[in-house]
Amino acid sequence: MSEELNKELYRTESRWQEGEYTVTRTSVWTAPGCHNGCGVLLYSKNGKLEKIEGDPNAPFNRGRLCLRCINMIEQVYSSERLKWPLKRVGEKGENKWQRITWDEAYDIIENKYNEIKDNHGVESIVSLVGTGRNSMWQPAVITRAIFGSPNLSFGFLSGDSCYQPRMTANLIKLGDCVISDCSQAHPLREKNPEWEKPEVIVVWGNNPLVSNGDGFIGHWLVDMMRLGTKLIVIDPALTWLAAKADIWLRVRPGSDAALAMAFLNVIINEDLYDHDFVETWTYGFDDLVERVQEYSPEKVADITWIPKEQIIEAARMYAKAKPAAIQWGLAVDMQMAAMEASSAITDLMAMTGNIDVPGGNIIQRYAYNRSKKYGSAIEYISEEMLLKRIGTYESPIHESGYTPFIPPDKLLECLETGRPYPVQMLWLQGTNPIANMAGEAPRVYAAMKKVPFCVAVDLFMTPSAVAFADVILPAAMSVERDSFRAWWTPLRSITKGAELYEQCKSDEEIVLDLGKRIRPDRFSQYNNIKEYLDQLLQEDGGVDYDFDTLVEKVNDFWDWDYTYKKYEKGMLRKDEQPGFVTPTGLYEFTSPLFDVWGFDMLPKHIEPVEGPYTTPELMREYPFVLTTGNRLWGCFHSEHRQMPTMREVHPDPMMDINPKAADKLGINEGDWVWLENRRGRCKQKARFNVGLDPRVVRGEHGWWFPEKEGAEPTLFGVFDSNINNLTTMGVHGPTHYGAPYKSTICKVYKVTEENDRVSPTEIVTRRGGFSYAKK
Amino acid sequence: MCSNNKGGFVPPDASKLVVRCPVCKTFNSPKNLKCKKCGEAMLKKEE
């Protein structure tokens, strides 16, 4: 863990020769792969990557890698990779393409851009981005700085329900974002004399060993456990971490806000809160005290299906531990009450005095304020053009700029109705929406088909590219690019360790190429990528060195990030006064902003729109609560399905069911079963899971089958096992954030020859969708 | 607005999103001409 390394074995330069191998010491930040930027050693020969290892001197991952990185070579040199730009020659969906040059591709795009600008307005160009990786800020720049459109969307992720609710709740209540402090922000890691080990970590709604989400690597939890940290795990499923926890709370999906309120109830009523912090640094405590009385452990036990004794025990354990951290995840976002749950959980951190203390939840910003992830490029958009953002003015939090995206649910309405204006062009970069993030995927498929022109930038041919694209641009992978990562700390180099595959280009190159053609006033000054990266590193008070220097450094920690109690030291506010970046200058249990926007000032529980307490009559036909989105070792979202090794690890889509529930339905482990509700159905393979509540089933997301025919009606089988045939769009929480991806309902029954004559994909692509969904 | 050259996680300037009544200190929308609680005329912030 923190033992000394033999420097002769583990070198600290950025590049060296080792026999016939050139070794590049850097980090990878996908695509392909997850959110994190793990330190790696890239071994290449004649420009070709031959081996990849974890970098033992990388403070972030300390030599450890997961399957997705270890298997990188298979991905980089997969024969399935896109090799050169393609132009559609058949009808959309026929999967017929013609190889073209980059110049030809850019000509098509530029001509279409000019035509749209002259005839419809640039606002009718909409970009879709995928999850938080190094292919997210580039489409923001392309959309807003180059095309001039304000319309950037988080795919069709209903309710922006991936980190946006948690971040926004953090930003509203304390003006910054917090993450669990495993001493990852300090170069000395656990040897930092100021740091203290968390006595308890609450792992709330995520499985970070598999997912490594939101800049947090799951290994840090194992490191903390080795030091003696105890875990409370809140998860509907018995994960490895839950099995090792002191307390596992098997929560009913979608009831996390109620659980957090019950924690607050116990902590307040048993006087376990941090009086000093609450009295000195917070606003609205008395109102919260009154609200939490509505959430007694007895009442919340009924809501969450967790015994009240366990709720009380867990709340006491968390509150009495000094320090304690909460490591939260996507399940908090993927429910109707996402903003409310996020707010209540943030209140727990504040109530117990664990914000920005060693071993608590530390306030983090991008290293040196280099915003390379959810970068919005909004500063390029005029006030007049901002008014044309689709759907934004129906969501005051979006309107105010807390989220750089337009609301995805409103974008779907726009595509379906043509209001406020028809969308003329879609730009898809690093996203495969109908296979992955789009709720109610068949509905999104039909809506996207209406858009006349579409460009996809990707690594592989995808169902979304086949169904919608006119031009496809092949993107470079992380190991083929020069770039950098600043999402939390340290600032990390991303250095090219292999020559570009065929004619692929990096996302940064595509930005510069298009920028020079369409907006030379903004991009002609950059002669190459390094000059552009220099600018991004140095502008607005960034670092005082260039990209080549960062390459040499590999990692650079920012002391701001590892300073504790920044709110006491005047390090948060622009006026340099102590306090938080909020209207009151304090941590806000009741939020004036929520009030002004017309929302409840305090957190509360909201029942899912479908479920045992809201639609008991529907539960007779659809008796299971359906949760989705659990992470896989071998695949990241819809990626990796082309990789033989990954498919060997995880060949089929799996649904989890308690064996007692399966037995009643005559389902054996390994049977193919249908999961079905009022919106559609999909088929997955049954896997018994004794840890799952018999009233809950779990389905995997992201499944499509590159081995199947790409042309419609087969379309790589994208709807055959697609759990988003059953999820929703337009069913978000009152703040427009959060959607019930993890808390809808379904029935389960065996697949038979008789009930499987027409595939779901053919039903969607050729028969207008599931007939019962139209009723 | 959040912006990508000033830190994407730094929130918008809240002082432009909410203002305090000069008399009763209640938080109001900048769009309000009068305080929603006491009815006092809201002072227009100078740009």
pLDDT band at B31 (very low <50, low <70, confident <90, very high): confident
Residue B24 domain flag: yes
Sort out which chain A residues have CB atoms less than 8 A from B42's CB and list them. Answer: none
Residue B47 domain flag: no
Provide the shortest C-alpha distance from residue B13 to chain A (in Å).
Answer: 9
Provide the Cα torsion A373, A632, A475, A762; round to 10°. -120
Instruction: Return the pLDDT at A674.
Output: 98
CATH of domain A177-364+566-596: 3.40.228.10
Instruction: Return the pLDDT at A253.
Output: 98
Provide the shortest C-alpha distance from residue B46 to chain A (in Å).
Answer: 17
Which of B7, B11, B17 comes nearest A366 by C-beta?
A: B7
How do residues A491-536 score in pLDDT, each as one tens digit? 999 999 999 999 999 999 999 999 999 999 999 999 999 999 999 9
Residue B32 domain flag: yes
pLDDT band at A373 (very low <50, low <70, confident <90, very high): very low
pLDDT band at A574 (very low <50, low <70, confident <90, very high): confident
Instruction: Return the pLDDT at A692.
Output: 97
**For A595, phi and psi rounded to 5 degrees?**
-65, -45
Instruction: Return the pLDDT at B4.
Output: 39
How do residues A444-468 score in pLDDT, each as one tens digit? 999 999 999 999 999 999 999 999 9
pLDDT band at A374 (very low <50, low <70, confident <90, very high): low
Question: What does the alpha-carbon distance between residue A226 and residue A30 come to, in Å, rounded to a whole number?
Answer: 29
Sort out which chain A residues have CB atoms less than 8 A from B2's CB and list them. Answer: 374, 376, 378, 401-404
Flag whether residue A593 sits within 8 Å of chain B, measured between CB atoms.
Answer: yes
Instruction: Return the pLDDT at B13.
Output: 81
Provide the shortest C-alpha distance from residue A379 to chain B (in Å).
Answer: 6
Instruction: Return the pLDDT at A773.
Output: 64
Rounded mean pLDDT, A686-692: 97
Specify the domain boundaries for CATH 2.40.40.20 within chain A: 616-774
Q: Is the pLDDT of residue A376 over 90?
A: no
Instruction: Return the pLDDT at B3.
Output: 41
Q: Is the pLDDT of residue A240 over 70?
A: yes
Domain span including residue B33: 11-38
The H-assigned helical ranges of A584-658 are 592-596, 616-621, 644-649
Residue B43 domain flag: no
How do residues A103-139 score in pLDDT, each as one tens digit? 999 999 999 999 999 999 999 999 999 998 898 899 9
A404 and B28 in contact by Cβ < 8 A?
A: no
Domain A86-160+375-479+502-542 has CATH 3.20.20.80: no
Which of A369, A400, A592 comes nearest B27 by C-beta?
A: A592
Sort out which chain B residues have CB atoms less than 8 A from A575's CB and list them. Answer: none
Supply the ipTM of this predicted assembly: 0.82
Contact predicate A389/A406, CB 8 Å: yes
Q: Is the pLDDT of residue A68 over 70?
A: yes
Q: Longest Cα pair distance anywhere in chain A, in angstroms? A: 71
Provide the shortest C-alpha distance from residue A403 to chain B (in Å).
Answer: 7
Q: Is the pLDDT of residue B5 over 60?
A: no
Sort out which chain A residues have CB atoms less than 8 A from B5's CB and list them. Answer: 371, 375, 379, 539-540
Domain count for chain B, please give it. 1
pLDDT band at A63 (very low <50, low <70, confident <90, very high): very high
Instruction: Return the pLDDT at A721.
Output: 98
Residue B30 domain flag: yes
Sort out which chain A residues have CB atoms less than 8 A from B15's CB and list them. Answer: 583
Rounded mean pLDDT, A584-597: 95
Specify the domain boundaries for CATH 3.40.228.10 within chain A: 177-364+566-596
How do residues A298-349 score in pLDDT, each as one tens digit? 999 999 999 999 999 999 999 999 999 999 999 999 999 999 999 999 999 9
Contact predicate A254/A743, CB 8 Å: yes
The Cα-based distances of A334 to A166, A349, A372, A397, A470 in angstroms read 10, 21, 24, 18, 32
Q: What architecture is the A616-774 domain classified under in CATH? A: Beta Barrel (2.40)
Residue B31 domain flag: yes
How do residues A464-480 score in pLDDT, each as one tens digit? 999 999 999 999 999 99
Sort out which chain A residues have CB atoms less than 8 A from B29's CB and list them. Answer: 596
Angle at A385 between CA A381 and CA A386, to 5 degrees: 75
What is the rounded average pLDDT for all residues in chain A?
A: 95
DSSP label at residue B42: P
Instruction: Return the pLDDT at A403.
Output: 85
pLDDT band at A615 (very low <50, low <70, confident <90, very high): very high
The one-letter amino acid at A747? K
Q: Is the pLDDT of residue A226 over 80?
A: yes
Retrieve residue A693's tokens. 């509540």
- Looking up tokens 């898809």 gives A428
Which of B3, B11, B12 comes nearest A379 by C-beta?
A: B3
B18 and A593 in contact by Cβ < 8 A?
A: yes
Omega of the bond prior to A323 within 30 degrees of 0, cis? Answer: yes
Instruction: Return the pLDDT at A707.
Output: 97
Contact predicate A177/A301, CB 8 Å: no
**Residue of B15, B17, B21 to mutate when probing chain A, most A C-beta within 10 A:** B17
Residue B26 domain flag: yes
Flag whether residue A376 sits within 8 Å of chain B, measured between CB atoms.
Answer: yes
Instruction: Return the pLDDT at A494.
Output: 97
**Residue of B5, B15, B19, B24 to mutate when probing chain A, most A C-beta within 10 A:** B5
pLDDT band at A189 (very low <50, low <70, confident <90, very high): very high
**Residue of B3, B9, B42, B45 to mutate when probing chain A, most A C-beta within 10 A:** B9
Sort out which chain B residues have CB atoms less than 8 A from A377's CB and list them. Answer: 3-4
Residue B19 domain flag: yes
pLDDT band at A379 (very low <50, low <70, confident <90, very high): confident
